[in-house]
A and B are shown apart, each in its own frame.
Chain A
Amino acid sequence: MSSSLPPPATDENLHLVDAAATQINDKVELLPGYEPDLSAATFCFKAEDHTIGNSLRYMIMKDPRVEFCGYSIPHPSEAKIHLRIQMYNGASALEALRDALDHLDSLLSTIDQAYDENLQAGDFERFEEPVLDKEDLARRADEGRKRRAEEEKSKA
């Protein structure tokens, strides 16, 4: 990943982790009422929205062990999403969530690769952006001004 990512926060190195990373301490919360074996749980992601919410939900639903998956935004003014996962046969929702994050990452890297290959192949139409012809505009403005001056004279 890029080097600008802060190091994962452990309890020991918390004082080294910079301001942006204190987000990580606060990022995911397990809402009360989860099953003891975590077969059903609601995760609360702070500072997230439909961008991650919907795509993560899609990837979790692709897991055959998942019985239910849905996300909601409790209030549009607060940047939080609630992601509910319920599993078949006592499987772990945490595991399904982690797998989905990995799959989403590999999906994105596959798209990146395919795009890059396509860009290198160079088989597409290249065109020039239309540029404003300033001289033509200036000339027309001058003509208009002359015409208006003549009209004024003829009226006067």
Chain B
Amino acid sequence: MAPRTKKVDDMDLDPSPSTSSRAQIVASSSASEPVDKRRLVEILPERVGSVASTDFPNHYPGELHEWDLERFRSNLKVAITRLSSGQCEFDLVGVDASVANAIRRVLMSEVPTVAIEHVYVWNNTSIIQDEVLSHRLGLVPLKIDPDRITMRNPGDDADDQNTVVFNLKQKCERNPKAAKGETDPEKLYIGSNVYSSALVWDPKGDQEEDLADCPPRPVHDDILLAKLRPGQELELELHCEKGIGKDHAKFSPVATATYRLLPHIQILKPIPPHLCEKFRKCFPEGVIGIRGGEGEQEVYVKDARRDTVSREVLRYPEFEGHVKLGRVRDHFLFDLETSGIIAPEKLLPTAIKVLREKIAILKSGLDHMERAKGLTGAGDE
């Protein structure tokens, strides 16, 4: 990739738009290939420089940075790098920090899920207080498709469209077959540990058929909820509702959603061979590689993506002027971990859907305001 130093107007558009393969993106980002100086956030010894993005109209005389969907589409690169059943890591290149942050914020607090909201305690003779047990139950992730359940608004009655009911009933008894002198509670008592597997779905109304293909159940069966001893009993009815993370963190579909900016290491002047090893040790393992024979060793950037930007190298006067640290302002390395309710590869599309709905609501709100103020058409008050 040639360094981009031309004006934005006659910048070469990437001939193959977002179809650049993951391998290409990973390779060029690992090697810290030169990028346009304007895209770099400088990490200097005493401060961080060039933080704000400058691609606005009228910022650079003679350059137009107006919004252009086609130019955006050709510069945009989205590449998933790693995927498992619990985690998704992907690169998002070419968007502004405000949009990447909006996606992250929406993922954590505005993507709706279903969780236990009301707990009706018929019987709780355990040592765990009602409210403590209810709090723990609320945090149990439930594998219920949020799109099948509607939000329950204040004043609505609970019906089969907006509520899912679980029952939790467990009693602890002494195990007659336990050995004498046994101390392990698992062997001494039957049903002493209440796990999330004890949550039993109670289909109401049409739910039996509607939710037949994805019956509601906890994501994990082995979450320890309470401990009982013989004679203690739990009988609870749990009502689950749809909500968002903003209301209570139990509704957040992500264990955590983070992103970091791609680190960028520029070696300005070659490092003398006797200092190569010291230079390499300033960075985490695998970031810097050394090649060449005895006495002719040179240092190169092997994988900048593994760098944690500890700025250790800036501490040594012998490396002053040899290396320039930075981060690429519009290259985001997202790492999303799901709590199990929504598949990790579906997290981003769901967040974008929620964001677009917010924009649609804003547009309707604007319509309403215009009508109310009589601003449509003539535009005079």
Residues of B within 8 Å of A8, CB to CB, are 364, 367-368
Partner among B99, B150, B367 whose Cβ is within 8 Å of the Cβ of A107: B99
Closest to A125 in B: B82
Could you tell me if B101 and A115 are in contact, using CB atoms closer than 8 angstroms? no
Residues of B within 8 Å of A51, CB to CB, are 101-102, 105-106, 110, 355, 358
A36 to B56, CA, bound (A): 27
Partner among A27, A38, A49, A126 whose Cβ is within 8 Å of the Cβ of B364: A27
User: Is B310 an interface residue when CB atoms closer than 8 A count as contact?
Assistant: no
User: Is B157 an interface residue when CB atoms closer than 8 A count as contact?
Assistant: no
User: Is B95 an interface residue when CB atoms closer than 8 A count as contact?
Assistant: yes
- Count residues of B near A (Cβ-Cβ below 8 Å): 73
Could you tell me if A36 and B381 are in contact, using CB atoms closer than 8 angstroms? yes
- Count residues of A near B (Cβ-Cβ below 8 Å): 66
Residues of B within 8 Å of A48, CB to CB, are 358, 362
Could you tell me if B57 and A64 are in contact, using CB atoms closer than 8 angstroms? yes
Could you tell me if A124 and B86 are in contact, using CB atoms closer than 8 angstroms? no
- A97-B366, A114-B78 known; A108+B379 contact, CB < 8 A: no
Partner among A1, A19, A115 whose Cβ is within 8 Å of the Cβ of B356: A1
Could you tell me if B356 and A37 are in contact, using CB atoms closer than 8 angstroms? no
Minimum CB–CB distance from A146 to chain B (whole Å) comes to: 13
- A8-B367, A64-B58, A108-B356 known; A116+B66 contact, CB < 8 A: no
Could you tell me if A114 and B18 are in contact, using CB atoms closer than 8 angstroms? yes
A4 to B22, CA, bound (A): 35
A25 to B364, CA, bound (A): 9
Partner among A62, A126, A127 whose Cβ is within 8 Å of the Cβ of B56: A62
Residues of A within 8 Å of B361, CB to CB, are 5, 23-24, 27
Could you tell me if B105 and A50 are in contact, using CB atoms closer than 8 angstroms? yes
Could you tell me if A124 and B69 are in contact, using CB atoms closer than 8 angstroms? no
- A18-B153, A36-B380 known; A94+B375 contact, CB < 8 A: yes
A67-105, CB < 8 A from B: 92, 94, 97-98, 101, 103-105
Could you tell me if B57 and A63 are in contact, using CB atoms closer than 8 angstroms? yes
| A12-32 to B contact mask, C-beta < 8 Å, 1/0 | 000000111001111111100
Minimum CB–CB distance from B16 to chain A (whole Å) comes to: 12
A61 to B99, CA, bound (A): 14
Closest to A110 in B: B73
Contacts between chains A and B (CB distance < 8 A), count: 193
Could you tell me if B69 and A29 are in contact, using CB atoms closer than 8 angstroms? no
B312-349, CB < 8 A from A: 345, 348-349
Majority DSSP secondary structure for residues of A touching B: helix
Minimum CB–CB distance from A90 to chain B (whole Å) comes to: 11
Minimum CB–CB distance from A81 to chain B (whole Å) comes to: 11
User: Is A123 an interface residue when CB atoms closer than 8 A count as contact?
Assistant: yes
A110-156, CB < 8 A from B: 110-112, 114-119, 123-129
A24 to B58, CA, bound (A): 35
User: Is B49 an interface residue when CB atoms closer than 8 A count as contact?
Assistant: no
User: Is B363 an interface residue when CB atoms closer than 8 A count as contact?
Assistant: yes
User: Is B266 an interface residue when CB atoms closer than 8 A count as contact?
Assistant: no
Could you tell me if A64 and B364 are in contact, using CB atoms closer than 8 angstroms? no
- A118-B22, A125-B82 known; A52+B369 contact, CB < 8 A: no
Q: A108-B359, A115-B90 are in contact. List 13 more A-B contacts (CB 8 A).
A: A4-B150, A8-B368, A19-B154, A26-B365, A28-B369, A30-B369, A36-B380, A38-B379, A55-B98, A103-B69, A107-B69, A111-B99, A114-B73
Q: Could you list which residues of chain B lie within 8 angstroms of chain A, going by C-beta atoms?
A: 18-19, 21-23, 53, 55-58, 64-67, 69, 72-73, 76-87, 90, 92, 95-96, 98-99, 101-102, 105-106, 110, 150-151, 153-156, 345, 348-349, 352-353, 355-371, 373, 375, 379-381
* 11 A-B contacts (beta carbon < 8 Å): A19-B154, A19-B156, A27-B369, A30-B373, A107-B72, A110-B72, A111-B348, A117-B18, A118-B80, A123-B23, A127-B84
